[in-house]
């Protein structure tokens, strides 16, 4: 993979293996298998069982480096909500990125894994008292204020001899994102403080009056799975306008601007992803030009990619449990589903599964790949081509599975969450073990 672009190659006749949305290390084998990071997916399934999540460490690191190359004068902060484990914390730290967390749990895991607290940003639209106290105690670098009530609460718990650096999350009034449920830049959702109704301006003035809070900048996050640069350019323009107001009204020139993340990836061949090289150039130009026009110093830029770093590095591997035809449709049921990947049920997204582990010469048939859970909406892929002889015992692998799968996994039907295995240079190692019935039973103290 190039370190200058995260845009996957276009689907062309040369992409006959359909690997444009797979990790760059993916290679087809003569027996119908597929290797990722030099590791056979069939052998990984035999060794670790299924469902299984395979994470290509090299792909993650390459994507971190690509962001640092594209944004050499900015702070790149990984959005941990996409996926977090101790190994991921280490990879991100070693590649020179910061970390964005949304709870005391994410923060605690990161710090105990050795991540420097001063390079952590704390988010959340409804931070609990524990979240805030933990952030203050551990010394996080930035806390992003999301509501007026947080301001007094934060000011009261910061030790009297200290000052906590904060940012205000601003709603810039921009609609962007792949689905209504992940558009966060407009006034009709729960995040941030609006420019339109004056809530953001009021919060800024409130923070500036607090003796134990230091306002270092503004923050916005306009949505997720965004594949166009235009909404980010518009957001920068509005944020610079607000920074100019702050200068005029309070005499304060804010030194930082965080434009969030939400960078879209391709889940199926032929889909678009956000070109970060273009993003970097357009955002930087808008920021420099806007600040020059407003006679402001150019603030330090921060961005928070999550999905774009880890999503394309993950592969989910399932065994087929059943194949049946009803009402003219072929259903292929696998041994996972919405308990390890709720995104299809939440957002209606679909994937491009692939038969691995054996070669088939059967003509393709359009099938619906479904999970094992007791919901009609437990669908992974609808009307996708698979070999017509797909049968129980086969292996299906699903690309672009690294983000918002296991981070949102549940205990539905007490199936247990799958393990996570890292692959690199032909070696596989366990990062997170499979959740067992014993693990789940320990929490049940009713007898």
Catalytic annotation, residues: 374
CA distances from 428 to 39, 40, 313 (A): 7, 10, 14
Residue 64: how many CB atoms within 10 A of its CB?
22
Residue 146 gets which letter from DSSP?
-
Element (H, E) at 205: helix 199-208
Q: Is 145 helix (H, G, I), strand (E, B) or coil?
A: strand
Q: Rg of the chain's alpha carbons, rounded to an integer? A: 23
Q: CA-to-CA distance for 324 and 366, rounded, in angstroms?
A: 13
Provide the strand spans (E) within 266-410. Answer: 300-303, 314-326, 329-334, 354-356, 364-370, 379-387, 395-398
The encoded tokens of residue 191 equal: 């995040």
Q: Is 382 helix (H, G, I), strand (E, B) or coil?
A: strand
Judged on CB neighbours under 10 Å (0-12, 13-18, 19+), 237 is middle
Q: CA-to-CA distance for 431 and 231, rounded, in angstroms?
A: 36
Q: Quote helix, strand, coil % in the chain, to nearest 5.
A: 30, 25, 45
- What does 414-437 look like in DSSP terms, one character per residue? G--PPPEEEEETTEEEEEEPPPPH
Q: Is 352 helix (H, G, I), strand (E, B) or coil?
A: coil
Which candidate, 150, 227, 163, 142, places its Cα nearest to that of 191? 150
Element (H, E) at 70: helix 57-70
């Amino acid at each position: 993979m190039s370190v200058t672009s995260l845009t996957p190659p276009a689907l062309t006749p040369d992409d006959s293996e359909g690997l444009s949305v797979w990790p760059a290390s993916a290679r087809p084998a003569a027996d119908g298998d597929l290797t990722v990071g030099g590791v056979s997916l069939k052998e990984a399934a035999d060794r670790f069982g299924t469902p299984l999540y395979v994470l290509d460490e090299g792909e993650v690191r390459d994507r971190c480096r690509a962001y640092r190359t594209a944004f050499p004068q900015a702070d790149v902060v990984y959005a941990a909500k996409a996926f977090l484990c101790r190994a991921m914390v280490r990879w991100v730290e070693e590649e020179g990125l910061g970390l964005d967390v949304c709870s005391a749990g994410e923060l605690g895991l990161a710090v105990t894994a050795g991540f420097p607290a001063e390079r952590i940003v704390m988010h959340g639209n409804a931070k609990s008292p524990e979240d805030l106290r933990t952030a203050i105690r551990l010394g996080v670098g930035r806390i992003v204020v999301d509501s007026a009530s947080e301001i007094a609460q934060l000011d009261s718990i910061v030790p009297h001899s200290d000052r906590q650096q904060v940012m205000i999350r601003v709603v810039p009034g921009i609609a962007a994102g792949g689905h209504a449920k992940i558009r966060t830049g407009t006034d009709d959702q729960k995040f941030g403080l609006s420019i339109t109704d004056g809530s953001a301006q009021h919060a800024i003035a409130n923070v500036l009056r607090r003796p134990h809070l230091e306002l270092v900048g503004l923050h916005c996050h306009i949505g997720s799975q965004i594949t166009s640069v235009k909404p980010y350019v518009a957001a920068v323009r509005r944020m610079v306008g607000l920074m100019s107001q702050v200068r005029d009204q309070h005499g304060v020139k804010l030194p930082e601007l965080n434009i969030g993340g939400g960078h879209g990836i391709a889940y199926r061949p032929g889909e678009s992803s956000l070109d970060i090289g273009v993003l970097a150039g357009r955002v930087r130009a808008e920021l420099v030009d806007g600040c020059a026009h407003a006679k402001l110093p150019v603030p330090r830029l921060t961005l928070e990619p999550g999905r774009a770093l880890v999503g394309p590095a993950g592969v989910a591997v399932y065994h087929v449990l059943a194949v049946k035809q009803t009402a003219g449709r072929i259903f292929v049921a696998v041994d996972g589903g919405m308990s390890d990947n709720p995104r299809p049920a939440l957002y209606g997204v679909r994937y491009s599964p692939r038969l691995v582990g054996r070669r088939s010469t059967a003509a393709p048939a359009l099938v619906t790949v479904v999970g094992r859970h007791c919901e009609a909406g437990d669908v992974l892929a609808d009307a996708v081509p698979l070999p017509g002889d797909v049968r129980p015992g086969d292996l299906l692998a699903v690309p672009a599975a690294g983000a918002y799968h296991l981070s949102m996994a549940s205990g539905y039907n007490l199936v247990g969450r799958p393990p996570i295995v890292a692959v690199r240079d032909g070696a596989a190692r366990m990062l997170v073990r499979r959740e067992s019935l014993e693990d789940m039973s320990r929490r049940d103290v009713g007898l």
